[in-house]
Amino acid sequence: MDRTLGIETEYGITVDGVESVDVVAESIALVRSYTEVVPPVKDTEQKWDYSLEDPHLDVRGFRVEELLQDFDEAKYFAQDQNRKLSFQEIKSDLVLSNGARFYNDHAHPEYSTPECRSLRDIIAQDKAGERIIEECVRRRNRQLTRGVVKVFKNNTDFVGHSYGTHDNYLMDRRVPFERVVRGLTPFLVTRQIVAGAGKMGIEGEERVVPGHYQISQRADFFSVLVSIDTMNRRPIINTRDEPHANTEKYRRMHVIVGDANLSEVAGALKLGTTSLVLDLLEQDACPLHLELADAVAALKQLSRDPHLKIPLRLADGRTISPVDVQREYLAVAEKRLRGRDAETDWVLGTWRQVLDDLERDVWLCADRLDWVAKWWLLTTFVETEGVSWDDPWLQSIDLEYHNVRRDEGLHAELVRQGRMQRFVTDEEIRQAIRQPPSNTRAYFRGRCVEKFAKEMTSVQWDELAFADGNGEAVVRLLNVFDDETVQFYNAAVDKAGDVATLLRSLHHERR
């Protein structure tokens, strides 16, 4: 597979054993603990260039003057006035040697993977983020005199608040946006049967109902089909137009309707199947006859039906099972894409097997899918202990499934017992903690952090700036995606012994 991919994950954070928790302060402290023994990274702290971001740009061709989330931003800003910290200090942005970004975002530590072009790389980098945060938890707890910091790779606090996991895909801008909405919506609504993380309870901003098990952690929090917002009135199809690339060529498909996966196979399927569906959209081959009567209602209905027994209603009055919706996309992908490369064939084969198993017996997928694995744990506990499904213990078990501490987390225990299939090796994850992918511009960014952090004056996904004798030199990476250009930039940073040599090499190429 050959599409640039990335994942942004906000982690839940709390402190056990104390009466009140300032989660903003704890998130800041957790991020900053990374720099304890990583001096080059500390040199890039607070250098993220926010002036190059504009979340108000809409892919439909206009700029939104005001977002619903702007009100939240204003509220956070007012609260943070009392911290006596600058905006940059609160964010505590770090750019890591593997090309990733690690920072505080709305009281959540957030890890954004470097750009990747293979499923093995993106899953290794996503798992590397878990390991990095796990180590930061250990360091932070060594600093505390009371209480224990706990961090969870999940998407809900169980009292009406959700935090996101966004998967991102670079795609051809020429695809009409109406085709994207029509072709992608049924797929994303039903993708949760492969990629859901599972959750105890039904949740919303105004109510919490215990005792129900559902497939997706995020489904409760979506209320519209298409919108640019990401924190309020969340949409199934997000329209933010920030490709961090040449806007004449590329669009970034910013998918916010997804859960944080701990299962490596589920994570690989989530990104792999979505990437293949985007291939179909770009080829104008995506199934367009599956329009849902009410996509938002279908998203919630499906999430609350873990037995997969209730069919979804289509706009033309027909009904169809969620498994069959996925099969429609799979059939076209197999016809057009099978044999293209090994990763594509792995996705197609695994996708088909999972759908077959879900249709035959959901429990067959307990070794691959997060929501089934967690449901098995909870069901075993209910049967063994004789408790009811609204017992508060079940919510605690749900949460501990996502604990990033491998000596505490229940998912990690399933992995140790050999109950979860793997997609990458521990060695690949260890390498990803320090090493960026070698075939994307993330390598250039990561190596610049490793070699020239002190000379860097600002950093962004698509731009780096360095101090030189004439003030500041900017290196723009908007067009660094094709193999030849990526190889040139990456070779230049490998060969350069100093920033001046690097800049001369890049300037000579541009001439």
Least Cα distance to 443 among 389, 414, 483, 402 occurs for 483
Residue type, 480: V
Close Cβ partners of 303 (under 8 Å, ≥ 6 residues apart): 192, 196, 214, 215, 216, 219, 220
Judge contact between 320 and 290, C-beta under 8 A: yes
Instruction: Report the C-alpha gap between 312 and 303 in whole angstroms.
Output: 12
Burial (Cβ within 10 Å: 0-12, 13-18, ≥19) of residue 327: middle
- Phi and psi at 140, nearest 5°, equal -65, -40
Q: What is the DSSP letter of 283?
A: T
Catalytic annotation present for 58: no
Close Cβ partners of 26 (under 8 Å, ≥ 6 residues apart): 13, 14, 15, 140, 149
Q: Which of 16, 58, 105, 494 is catalytic?
A: 105
Instruction: Report the C-alpha gap between 85 and 31 in whole angstroms.
Output: 15
DSSP states of 326-374 as a string? HHHHHHHHHHHHTTS-HHHHHHHHHHHHHHHHHHH-GGGGTTT-HHHHH
Q: How many residues does the chain have?
A: 511
Judge contact between 424 and 127, C-beta under 8 A: yes
Active site amino acids? 105
